[in-house]
Structure 1
Amino acid sequence: MGLRGVDAGARGEHAEARTGDGGDPPASSGEPEASATAPTPVTTPPRTPAPVGTRLDAWWSNLLRTPRRRAMWTWGGPIAVTLLAAVLRFWNLGHPQAIVFDETYYVKDAWTLLANGYESAWPEGANEDFARGDTDVFSDDPAYVVHPPLGKWMIGLGMALFGADSAVWWRASTALAGTVAVFLMTMVGRRLFRSTLVAVIAGLLLAIDGNAIVMSRVALLDNWVMLFCLLGFWFVLLDRSATESRLRERVAAMRAGGGEPHWGPVIWARPWVVAAGVAFGAATAVKWSGLYFVAAFGLYLVLVDAMARRRAGLGFWVEGALFKQAPATFVLLVPVAFVVYLASWTGWLVTDGGYYRGWADEPGNAATGFWSWVPHSLQSLWHYHQAAYGYHVGVASPHPWQANPLTWPIASRPTNMYFASTTDGSGGCGQAECWSSIMGIPNPIIWWAATLAAVYLVYRFARYREWTAGLILVGVAAGYLPWLMYLGRTVFQFYTIAYEPYVLLALAAVIGLVLGRPDDPTWRRQQGLATVGVFLGVAIAVSIFFLPLWTAVPVTPDFRQLHFWLPGWG
């Protein structure tokens, strides 16, 4: 059952009392009849039906009356918000021409991956040299890094094509990833909500949110985690309906053959699960947090398979899902993800200079006994992973912009990634003193509303068992809940980009409920359209207001201070 209109639960179904239905006649009262003549029936005038929809609905319906116009809207709406996202992400992308925040790791690592096949060491002061265009001051010595290589390979795409002299090219592929994610968001939304309008609104929310804009304009890894996980989410969504249809066909064929398939068949033809394995494997090859999405959506697939078998009328639907289909789903998902992950280390494996690359070749390090057959390169890679895991679980060095995961839902400590000031009137803000910032402040109107919407979807799922709410919440849980196990670790608000699409989908779902349907009563539809219109108008205005702080536009100190709505923002 999909998400229903907010008024659906309140309408109620009232059975009408019926007479003359063939039952026994009413018992006589024993009183004589007052007249032998039947009374003249009272004629009730026909009730005028309550008006439904609005003039806007009628105009919109007329506008889309032809298949060609409907097709133009179906694709034109998503393309329009994607173009808006592209403008917000690529406009003045080369400013500042400086290494900002963790670009100090990932941009330089990407450049040495292109040159050496592994991350290499840089001398002191290399950030300034790199920004000036002196990009070849690195050595052949390996650098110790704690994230897999794929995200850095992706960052390196722009530099591989156009060089590293301009900040545009070391950020371009990340900006492209953020733009593609907006289009993908509209495709997911249309599949989830069966509404192009709600899907376009979902894409718009991601297009104009500050966290999404900032993470698309700096060359960090997390935008790639977000994109690959959202792609995997879409594939899982596509698999859901396709596999249930195949299951019904197989069960019907088995019954037509005279048998009763108590456990049901095994469905191997699930190309979307394989595609999801590729996408989630790629996310893991950017950051290990992608593993949580593999686990969460793997469990989700088992659950929906069980529910599909139950709907198909199979007697042993739990056993069939767990002991027949689940192993097949595992094979289609997890090994595929592992192969993609391992392939991301190709540069490290085929060269000799990477960190720990020769560890197993040193005396006393190689495995003996059962594991001695494993190639030394893979043994060295395993040791690398053990060391990196120890770093990840233990890193707790204080940082002025770290944010406890418990505070992420309210965004109380967004990350300041860049700050510069001038006091000689050359800053371009119209006054002597000008400040420039790149602050990962999410649009507060969108983010806070989305957080509340996600909480509301928990209620919707518990109350109505809506599969759309459940699927969205799986994405939120996979991206957020694991961080609650590492409350003492140094983490940042911008990590939320990995699960931001799902809280925005939760908000889009609630917006769809508020909008209602074109055949709702006029008063109800008018209220819904007005509420959503005002909300989106305010959200757009807030994004315009915060845009200078997301894009390093020079502003006066007083104007910058107006944006600090919570104490932790300044």
Structure 2
Amino acid sequence: MAQRLVPPIQGGALAGWAGPLLIALFGGILRFVRLGEPKAVVFDETFYIKDAYSLLKHGVERTMLGNADNPIADKRLITGNLDIFQHCPKQVDCASFVAHPPLGKWMIGAGEWLFGMTPFGWRFAAALVGTLSILIMARVARRMTRSTLLGCLGGLLLALDGLHLVLSRTALLDIFLMFWVLAGFACLVADRDWARRRLAGWYESAPISELGPRLGLRPWRVAAGVCLGAACAVKWSGIFFLIAFAVMSVMWDMGARRALGLRQPYRGALSYDVPGGFAALAVAPAVTFLASWTGWFVTAGGWGRNWEQATSAGPFFFVIDSARSWLKYQTQVLGYHSGLEAYHPYMSEPWQWPLLLRPVSFYYPPDLPASACGANDCSQAVLGVGTPALWYGAVLALIAIITWYVATRDWRAGATLLGFGAGWLPWFYYAIAGNRTMYLFYMIPVVPFMVLAIVLAAGLVLGRAGASSGRRSAGAAAVGGFALIVLINFWWLQPVLTAETITQAEWWARMLMRSWVTAAPK
């Protein structure tokens, strides 16, 4: 029964860790080498690195007055570790309205605290979580496929994605959202195995009942709730994944009890699993989200804090008044996101994202001297775009996985499609209901699920372990050939992902479509 509910994983524990760790090391090298380049503020880093610095100084985001001579104020090159902000005058209300929760900025601030206000410092946390997400990707793909080889393939493909690389080398919030979503999903997959082992052990040693056993505290599911709460504490869009994965976890519990042969599996899951699931996937995320706002609650300088009134009449009134002010703030943030319609030259629609029709130019200085590359016209770019071979392969894989799920109801296909849909489909509401400003990099939380789709499709191509040697050889050649194509495509794009100085002709050669460029550079 145990092997039927939780099939064994091919390869030993040593290989199961050594392979993913080596892949993560490879991805980490790509992300950390030249992390301080370009020595400038890239795209929306200008908002988040200042908010992170303010959190370190004040516990909340404050409007930090830029020095006219400071390199962040005018986006000139940064040459050293500088204290780049003046303190806000006491006579001026410098509370800053911010549209995103604080956790991602606290994570950026950790790098600034460790390495100073330098490009390396404010990008350090992004590179670290980007590298760790490769390890998590390899491990969760291994657990889902029961194959160390396919797990390493998943980690390698994520390491070679251009959009993942760019966001791992940029102090924006989206890479942190992706990390916590992936970590939460991985914890739920681990919880699925954990719960099934407990059920199998009960089946073999306890008398049969109609409902089955209580499973008690499920640490992996609690960890998943904390991670998904952290995703919401980076960006509100984490709530889509939290809701989807909570439903998925309950469905897995029902399926496990049904697979055990219990007479009333659904009632057993609703009676014994759902209450604990509510605590793990509703209460724990809410506590985590609230905890990320600790700086706002315990200091006087936050937006809408109303500190003097909150502290005017005892601790009970403090809690009630603080909660009222905080909820009003959240309502303002919701209104901001619902009405965000400012035009941006690199904005795009959700249907364009999987096809990479409109990536985002994060950095392109127009005034490089000819001596920078040895030609008359030079380019140095950071283009936020996925690796085309990987993304177009993922589109085909997703179509295959949809067909596979319809035919077999395989849980792995269902989980992958759910993760992809939870991160992509909600944006169509904003596209239909209004003209909200959206960008390709909003897709980064679903990139791991695109990779999982490819990994599952690769498993189908390889066939079962007992398949003929000819079938296995042909499948291995196809999968290996695809991985090689992705590697070559990534290598070709890498100069325009990491701000390497190249000739303008070389830059143009890497622009797959004219829609990748707003206008020809001067």
Q: Please give the TM-score of this superposition, normalised by the length of structure 1.
A: 0.82
1:262 is matched with: 210
Tell me which residue corresponds to 2:46.
Answer: 104
Determine the C-alpha separation between the residues in 1 that align with 2:65 and 2:57.
16
Equivalent residue, structure 2, for 1:342: 290
Give the match for residue 458 of structure 1.
402
Q: Write out aligned runs for 1:108-507 (5 A).
A: 108-123=50-65, 127-128=72-73, 131=78, 133-139=82-88, 141-164=94-117, 166-250=118-202, 255=207, 261-358=209-306, 361=309, 374-422=319-367, 424-427=369-372, 429-487=373-431, 488-507=435-454
Letter in 2 for 1:135: I
Structure 1: unaligned runs, 5 residues or longer: 5-63
Q: Secondary structure at the match of 1:555?
A: strand
Shift of 1:518: 5.6
- 1:549 and 2:501 are equivalent in the alignment: no
Residues 16, 139 of structure 2: 8 Å contact kept:
no
Deviations 1:465-498 (A, max 9, x none): 1111112222112211221211131111011111
- Deviation string, structure 1 residues 308-341 (Cα, Å, up to 9, x no partner): 2222233332233335432331122210111111
Could you tell me which residue of structure 2 aligns to residue 513 of structure 1?
460
Task: Provide the secondary structure at the position in 2 that maps to 1:435.
Answer: strand
Is the partner of 2:370 in helix, strand or coil?
Answer: coil
Give the structure 2 partner of residue 83 of structure 1.
25
1:104: Cα distance to partner? 0.9
Offset, 1:264:
3.6
Whether the 8 Å contact between 1:129 and 1:135 is mirrored in structure 2 is no
Q: Measure, in 2, the Cα distance between the counterparts of 1:495 and 1:454.
A: 19
Distance 2:309 2:23 in 1: 54
* Distance change (3 Å), C-alpha of 1:553 and 1:138: farther
Aligned to 2:520: none
Letter matched to residue 379 of structure 2: W
- Asked if structure 1 preserves the Cα contact closer than 8 Å seen for 2:380 and 2:501, the reply is yes
1:240, 1:73 → 2: CA distance? 22
Partner of 1:426, secondary structure, is helix
Q: Secondary structure at the match of 2:407?
A: helix
2-side partners of 1:567 and 1:268: how far apart? 57
Inter-partner Cα distance in structure 2 for 1:214 and 1:327: 41
SS state of the match for residue 190, structure 1?
A: helix
In 1, the alpha carbon distance for the partners of 2:114 and 2:473 equals 52
Return closer, same or farther for 1:315/1:208 CA change in 2, 3 Å cut-off: same
List gaps (5 residues or longer) in structure 2: 518-522
Deviation digits for residues 212-251 of structure 1 (CA, Å, limit 9, x no counterpart): 1001000000111111111111110011122123234446
CA deviation vs aligned residue, 1:162-187 (integer Å, no higher than 9, x gap)? 211x2101101110110011111111
Residue type at the aligned position of 1:438: V
CA distance in 2, matches of 1:139, 1:494: 33
Identity among equivalent pairs (%): 39
Alpha carbons 1:121, 1:142 under 8 Å: kept:
yes
The answer (yes or no) to whether the contact 2:166–2:497 under 8 Å persists in 1 is yes
Distance apart, 1:71 and its partner CA: 5.8
Match of 1:464, as an amino acid?
T
1:45 is aligned to none
After TM superposition, the structure 1 stretch with the greater mean CA deviation from structure 2, 127-136 or 306-315, is 127-136
* Backbone CA RMSD of aligned residues: 2.5
Check the 8 A contact 2:215/2:272 in 1, yes or no: no
CA contact (8 A) 1:206 1:504 kept: yes
Matched AA of 1:434:
C
- Alpha-carbon distance in structure 2 between the residues aligned to 1:77 and 1:199: 9
Structure 1, residues 97-145: CA drift from partner, whole Å, max 9, x if none? 1111110111010001000111111336662468463412252612110
Task: Name the larger-Rg structure.
Answer: 1
Alpha-carbon spacing, 1:115–1:423, altered in 2? closer, same or farther (3 Å): closer
Once the two structures are TM-superposed, the CA of residue 458 in structure 1 deviates from its matched residue by 1.2
Aligned to 1:58: none
**What is the TM-score of this pair, normalised by structure 2?**
0.89
* Structure 1 Cα separation of the partners of residues 83 and 370 of structure 2: 29
Cα contact 2:54–2:64 (8 A) shared by 1:
no
The one-letter code matched in structure 1 to 2:410 is E
In structure 2, give the amino acid aligned to 1:205. Answer: L
Is the alpha carbon distance of 1:74 and 1:317 closer, same or farther for their aligned partners in structure 2, counting shifts above 3 Å? closer
Change (3 A) 1:270 1:361: same
* Alpha-carbon offset, residue 92 of structure 1: 0.7
> Is the CA contact 2:217–2:276 (under 8 Å) kept in the aligned structure 1?
no
d(CA) in 2 for partners of 1:401 and 1:395? 15
Question: Equivalences for 1:13-52 in 2 at 5 Å?
Answer: none
Looking at structure 1, the residues matched to 225 and 501 of structure 2 have their Cα atoms a distance apart, in angstroms, of 44
Alpha-carbon distance in structure 2 between the residues aligned to 1:178 and 1:274: 23
Report what 1:52 is aligned to: none
Question: How has the CA–CA distance of structure 1 residues 551 and 138 changed in structure 2, closer, same or farther, with 3 Å as cutoff?
Answer: farther
| 1:558 paired residue among 499, 505, 514 | 505
Does the residue aligned with 2:501 lie in a helix, a strand or coil? coil
Distance in 2 separating the partners of 1:449 and 1:178? 22
Q: Deviations over 1:381-417 (max 9, x none)?
A: 1111000000011111111111101111111111111
Match of 1:74 in 2: 16
CA contact 1:156–1:170 (8 Å) conserved in 2:
yes
Aligned length: 494
